[in-house]
Structure 1
Amino acid sequence: MSRSYSSNIPKLYIIKLAKWFMLTMPIIVLFYQENGLSMQNVLTLKAFYSVAVVIMEIPSGYFADIWGRKKTLIMGSVLGCLGFVVYGLSSDFYGFLLAELVLGVGSSFISGADSALLYDSLLQDKKEGTYLKQESRMMSVGNFAEALAGIAGGSLALISLRTPFIFQIFIAFIAVPASMMLMEVERSKLKTEGGFVHILKVVRYALWENLQLRLNILYSSIFGCATLSLAWFVQPYLKQFDMDVSRIGVIWTLLNLTVGFTALLAHRIESRLGKIGTSLLIVIGLSSGFILSGVMTTQLGIICLFYFYIIRGIATPILKDYINRITTSDMRATVLSLRNFIIRILFAIIAPFLGWYSDHFSIGDALIFAGSIIFLLGGVTLFFIYKTERK
């Protein structure tokens, strides 16, 4: 009797919950500012986080393909907990920098490996056709968790802005036993000798030899960077309307609930619009969300944030699915990590500049600039995807 790997799915949900139940997110920028950091400092910290992810992203995906998804997820979960311990003990830029580096390495071990294990578990049970639905549900669970954490984190912040970081240590720890209970999936493996050489072979195949895969990775990475960038502007954007911490927490909650509910509908939207139609919706929707949020100087701009988060809920699971469809199991985690690698490279390049731009001009100007760049890059990439799909 063949083994069922469906038992991995609820454990992956727990790991997702531990990662996304972020009590710190609705107040983290305010916490930085309370400790004397500017927006340029804040986004520089996040750029260093991205550098830490970049350094380990592809190797961690390769480790997941060679050593196993389970061991990689355990390592990421342990580092995720340790990073918040460092945060709880720190009060300046360099302490926060150390915490971000630990969290960045931990995140790189989880990203790619979780989606790869989900897809391969379904593949083993001959249910790979349900991946988009499952990935959408998992994304929804993550966003619902972040939404509830927004209320909880905002409430804990009324005690002090450091309190959510202390509680986050215990939340992050939940992922450790969950990852230890995962069941490794049997799969075809890459040869283990000359590991770095094999990583380069996978990267060369994904970014050079396979045009279709290259374009899909690039397209997904551009909009992954876009959603990551806007997330760090939400708190200062709302603060400019003189909102207190609890109200910011409530809006953060509602934004993530919006993503969660929309993600549940992503597979239906994609089946109706098709790949090119959905991709067009994503490029126009996300770039215009940036620009409209920047143009609006009143609280009506909050509506534009919700519009952006609706499109984000559609985009994230669909763009991952497009990559999975054209990637084999033996390199899936490495390829997904390559996607995250490019996202972090793009973010590390643009984020400090957007922080500087925001400090010297305005948040609105920074959002308009970012939206214009995203539309240009995304539009050009989609054009080439369209040409490739027609061949």
Structure 2
Amino acid sequence: MNRNIKLLYGFSCFDQFMIVIALWVPYLATKGIGMRQFMELQAVFALVILCGELPSGLLSDLWGRKKTLLLGSTLKAVSFSLLPLWSSYAGFLFYHLTMGIALSMISGGDVALLYDSSLAAGGEKSRGTAVLGNANLAAQMGTTVSALLGGAVVSLSYGHLLWANAILSWIPVLLVLRVTEPPATLDRGKKRAEELKELLSSTLVRDGATRLVLLNMVAWGTGGLVMFWVNQKYWQESGVPLASFGVLLAGYGLIAGLAGRSAALGIARYGRRPLLAAVGVLPIIAYFGMASFLGWGGILLGILAPVGRGLGQVLFMEALNERISSAFRATVISMAQLGIRASFCLLGPLVGYGIERSGLPSVLSALGILFSLAFVVLLVPLVVR
């Protein structure tokens, strides 16, 4: 099982080696895909993931973590390998459909497999924070290197970028093939359907602590996803050269990874409550700071948001893993991801419309107010428990 953990750290890293994504908009523009069609494709992509999150989590719990992760990774690699062949809207639509299904299968299962492997290796539940922090750092390192590598390879041509991306996409498949499925125990005498019903009832109705963790994962995860796209618009309006976008994206990702990696040390030194509070306070400061200081001052203050995101990813996931049995861990994690996608489908278009109508400072201030309310309503009750 210790080998599993190392392999899954590698998977977390190379799963993020999607070097074409950082240049996705300009590449599709060379194929005649305007922004209207681009947003249509992203809507389809989000809808596929939204519909596939919970079924894929159930598939992972019922069929096996490794099998589902292997199937998703293979489908993702095939999608990237076919990408250089597409040049029409229909081809790119097919790509987004298959990629959405693939990412749904990967989502949740990789974290559940890592956590189960840690427990099977004899690790205590408290060690889960460090394990998840390491995986988060590996993922952010993958994102960082991917952004820098994509900017370097595209200087040759888009063709080089696409084929390099296709080759790299098969590395996660090779890593998953070497993973051993850890044991996941079920209480005897209960049917899975009854256990799932009991789990959902406990998570969403009776268990207030678990419900708060899940809602916070959704709320702050949605904020992070929105800011991923808002940041690029912010950098553009701040006059940042396009060549520096990859460097900024890599830097933000690395900071988030280091923050997640430091979560276990922070808990040992300061306790869990101050870190949970920081998860909410830091992004709020970033929103208002970016609204007040458009330019490099706002970009520097914006660093606080990925720090909060990195801490939150580890703290919320660890809290959820501690409360959910191994048998349905992937299902509940997929529920959280489903909530993030659904919330983004509502908040994302509103943010885009607001930027077009009122400008970035107004929208960032509105986000600061919105997440201040989320802090009071959702995070403070979790902190004081």
Identity %: 23
Per-residue Cα deviation, 1:29-54 (whole angstroms, up to 9, x for no partner): 4445565533x765554443232122
Aligned equivalents of 1:44 and 1:198: distance in 2? Answer: 38
- Alignment TM-score, normalising by the size of structure 2: 0.90
Q: 1:125 to 1:44 in 2, by over 3 A?
A: same
Write the letter of the residue equivalent to 1:266: A
Corresponding residue of 2:381: 384
Per-residue Cα deviation, 1:93-143 (whole angstroms, up to 9, x for no partner): 554443233222211211211111111111112203321111111111111
Corresponding residue of 2:329: 332
1:51 aligns with 2:47: yes
The offset of 1:246, in angstroms, is 2.4
Aligned equivalents of 2:89 and 2:241: distance in 1? Answer: 24
Corresponding residue of 1:263: 260
2:177 to 167, 174, 180: 180
Higher relative CO (CA 8 A, sep ≥ 6), structure 1 or 2? 1
1:126 aligns with 2:128: no
1:252 aligns with 2:244: no
Aligned equivalents of 2:316 and 2:245: distance in 1? Answer: 29
Per-residue Cα deviation, 1:216-266 (whole angstroms, up to 9, x for no partner): 100111111111111122223222234333211122222222122222211
1:373 aligns with 2:370: yes
Aligned equivalents of 1:115 and 1:283: distance in 2? Answer: 23
Aligned equivalents of 2:158 and 2:14: distance in 1? Answer: 20
The offset of 1:13, in angstroms, is 2.0
Q: 1:192 to 1:344 in 2, by over 3 A?
A: farther
Corresponding residue of 1:292: 289
Counterpart contact for 1:22–1:168, Cα < 8 Å:
yes
SS at match of 1:165: helix
Corresponding residue of 1:104: 100
Corresponding residue of 1:75: 71
1:113 aligns with 2:109: yes
The offset of 1:200, in angstroms, is 4.8
Q: 1:213 to 1:360 in 2, by over 3 A?
A: same
The offset of 1:268, in angstroms, is 1.7
Aligned equivalents of 1:100 and 1:293: distance in 2? Answer: 32
Counterpart contact for 1:221–1:339, Cα < 8 Å:
yes
Write the letter of the residue equivalent to 2:151: G
- Aligned-residue CA RMSD (Å): 2.6
Indicate the larger mover: 190-199 or 359-368.
Answer: 190-199
Counterpart contact for 1:190–1:330, Cα < 8 Å:
no
Unaligned runs of 5+ in 1: none
2:276 to 253, 272, 279: 279
- Alignment TM-score, normalising by the size of structure 1: 0.88
Unaligned runs of 5+ in 2: none
Q: 1:80 to 1:192 in 2, by over 3 A?
A: farther
The offset of 1:342, in angstroms, is 0.8
Q: 1:18 to 1:270 in 2, by over 3 A?
A: same
1:63 to 46, 59, 68: 59
The offset of 1:381, in angstroms, is 1.0
Write the letter of the residue equivalent to 2:200: V
